Amino acid sequence: MRPLELFDPDAATDAATDAPPREEDSWRLTDIYPDFEAWELAFDAAEAMLPGLEAWKGRLAEGPAVVAEALAAYFTALREVKRVYAFASNGSNIDHRDAPGRARSARARMMFTKLHSATAWMEPELLALPEGTLAGWMETATELVPYAFRLDNTLRQAPHTLGDEAEAVLALSGDITGSAGAIYDVFKSAELPFPTITLADGSEAKADYAGFMRLRGSALREDRAAVMKGFFDAWQPFQGTLGTALNAQLQSDWFRARARRYPTCVASALDGDNIPPAVYRSLVDSTNEQLPVLHRYLRLRGRMLGLEGDLRYHDLYAPLVAIDRSYPIDVGCQLALESAAPLGEEYVATLGQALRSRWMDVYPRPGKQTGAYMSDAAFDVHPYVLMNYVDTWGSVSTLAHEWGHAMHSVLANAAQPFHTAKYTTFTAEVASTFNEMLLLDHALKTARDDQERLYFLGNAVEDLRTTFFRQAMFAEFELAIHEAVERGEALTGDTFSERYLALLRRYHGHDEGVVLVDDHCAREWAYVSHFYYDFYVYQYATSLAAAAQFADEVLSGADEARERYLGVLKAGGSAYPHDLLAGAGVDLATAAPYRALGARMSALLDEMEALLA
């Protein structure tokens, strides 16, 4: 799923109607359970498994057979809990007004907590075995072969796993260390007052989240400027409070890193998926190397908008090119199928069958979850895709994105057992953005005229700006403020604003006159919720870079490149994500993928400039 910063207005519920969806446009949750009665029976059966998981507590030292039994029981329970959750959560998300549906979803979520409580003893008990015991069993016991990756990951994190008493204290601190983000969420969602602004036509509008997302893309420059200033100025009176909240989050991250014996916050955050910190450093360094490509695009944007020499930050979401064309869902699905052709006949056939099998809920309607996502919690059934499709090119692109996720799960689930099928975010966004790139390639090849071709090119380079450069800028800011805390520096709202504005201006070429960034834009950091997520947002940029390198290789027509890419999807979560990508030829700890992305953006700009000439 896309991050909040990349929320697609085309996927919003503004077009929702009370008309019931056609059967073929709604997903069929009865593939999971035939009715609510069957779900209740499955819920009770899954819940009844949980107390039994403690039957192996205190017994793991008996030998590898007991360890294998305990792991098999855990994954069997997790499989059933996730299936129960898939039915309840997806059912609730198509109508949040349905109180019984919300209750089912809440009950299903609570079962994950119960499962965790019932098995929290497992990894500490494994690590309490005499040194070398578990590693020796893994070398000789065939029962443990299916769980080798899981156990290797447990052993890998042994230096950062504390004793029982210390682990218990860290667990108790969870609510405290997460309180800064909770306070921030309540403040920004419920208590932050937003101003009313006057638009160019004399009407008034609220400069809140919805108004900001809508009006920053207005064709009227006065409205874009007014909403951006009004929105960012709203945060100014609370800069001290928000600075204290973000600093508290950083202190919490540094506390957890030191408690678990990590040298830095970024090393702590990335170690869960065994991502080398060099990946993060390479992203930051390589993005700065590619800033001239971004500046080239921004100068072109200024010329296209007639603002050469006066392009400002509030102009970055203004529409560049318009086309008068609608993309009904059948057309969108056909484009997704046609664009997937480079992945081979089997992939296309599987995608086509899925698109015809009611795995997707298509249109917005009152009460439905906004945006778009893919859910693969029902391992034994199939993935589900939620859309809010409104017949625009943005909706087609979102469709390709989410079905990239869905096909990743289809391939992984077919090739892997349950316990190694689930992949991480680090590889998940590669599959989705890769399919968007295939869609763009197909659209450019089949465009009806130069205006349409220019429209597709403009959308593509704008996506690279927001999904790669903007997210990488967030990642650099997050790294810098964590490092400041590690050095013992005092951080306040004022210092966050100073640091953020300097970074914003460097990325956008303020001093070179590329984009003029007004002082009030300094408060943008306060609006970005990802800074409370402990090094999460960087993965959108790394995934896009990886997808760009894969796409260039696959679109060249090399069968070997296609098989390497499909091999990553089929591997699911059977290996560490960085190792999977590096083994397929895309090493995100090096500059190569980011340079490939820069070259891709340059090629798109070449085409745009040729058309404009």
Point out the residues that are catalytic: 402
Instruction: Write the CB contacts of 451 (distance below 8 Å, at least 6 apart in sequence).
Output: 321, 323
CB 549 within 8 A of CB 439: no
DSSP class of 264 = S
392 alpha carbon, distance to own chain's centre: 22
Q: What element of type H or E holds 196?
A: strand 196-198
37 CB neighbour count, 10 Å cutoff = 9
Q: What element of type H or E holds 197?
A: strand 196-198
CA atoms within 13 A on the CB side of 8: 25
Using CA atoms, how far residue 126 sits from 152, 168, 326, in Å, is: 11, 16, 58
Q: Parallel, antiparallel, or unpaired: how do β-strands 360-361 and 384-386 relate?
A: parallel
DSSP class of 530 = G
3-state secondary structure 117-184: HHHCCHHHHHHCCCCCHHHHHHHHCHHHHHHHHHHHHHHHCHHHCCCHHHHHHHHHCHHHHCHHHHHH
Question: Using CA atoms, how far apart are residues 394 and 153, in angstroms rounded to an integer?
Answer: 39
Which amino acid is located at 75 in the chain?
Answer: F
- Kindly tell me the burial class for residue 28, based on how many C-beta atoms sit within 10 Å of its own C-beta (0-12, 13-18, 19 or more): middle
CB 518 within 8 A of CB 311: no
Using CA atoms, how far residue 455 sits from 7, 44, 323, 452, in Å, is: 20, 53, 7, 5
Query: What's the CA angle centered on 249, arms 247 and 255, to 5 degrees?
Result: 105
Instruction: Write the CB contacts of 240 (distance below 8 Å, at least 6 apart in sequence).
Output: 492, 493
Strand partners, 384: 375
Question: Using CA atoms, how far apart are residues 573 and 1, in angstroms rounded to an integer?
Answer: 18
Question: Using CA atoms, how far apart are residues 257 and 33, in angstroms rounded to an integer?
Answer: 43
Look up residue 378 and give its two tokens.
């029902």
Look up residue 54 and give its two tokens.
């403690």
CB 126 within 8 A of CB 67: yes
Question: Using CA atoms, how far apart are residues 429 and 431, in angstroms rounded to an integer?
Answer: 5
139 CB neighbour count, 10 Å cutoff = 8
Q: Which of 205, 213, 209 is nearest to 185 (CA)?
A: 209
Strand partners, 373: 386
CB 1 within 8 A of CB 373: yes
Q: Identify each DSSP E strand in 256-383 by its residue range.
A: 360-361, 373-375
Sign of CA dihedral 127, 129, 131, 136: negative
Q: What element of type H or E holds 386?
A: strand 384-386
